[in-house]
Structure 1
Amino acid sequence: MEVLTTIYLQLYVNINWLLTGQGEMFIGGTPESTLTQKEQTLLEDYRESNEQGKAAIEEAASALAATAALTNRKVA
């Protein structure tokens, strides 16, 4: 769940859209052009993944964020 919250807060992506593919991709009309190509690809890959793939992406993102937080001397 933390990963989804981060995606929402950092990228303004509609969590409902991310999980179901329904509704607008962005909250507040944020244009898609604010995402880099890598970010767009990551979101597309997540959306097209099965539940096991989505879980793997979420776990990997959480682990990377925790590592970055420790590197920056923040508590994850």
Structure 2
Amino acid sequence: MANDWIIDVLADLRQYALRNNYIALAEQLDDAIVVAAGELICSADPAGDAPARPAPGVEAALARRHTREKGDEDERGFAPVC
């Protein structure tokens, strides 16, 4: 897929946010990774340009998002990101 580089960029930004203790930003970037993956899949041409499996980082972002939706927040109201 020609545009899957955006997932790598978002994942790099998420790692930067975590290293600098920007937890809320890291969580938002998880959501952005999921949205970007969905957009890439929806915009893939019907000739088979869609990936056979999610791009690297997408499965981890989905797992973290699922954890947050279950309500496993810490004392600050943030779900664990690692």
TM-score band by shorter chain is 0.3 to 0.5
Calculate the TM-score normalised by the size of structure 1. Answer: 0.36
Higher helix proportion: 1
Question: Which protein shows a greater Rg?
Answer: 2
Calculate the TM-score normalised by the size of structure 2. Answer: 0.34
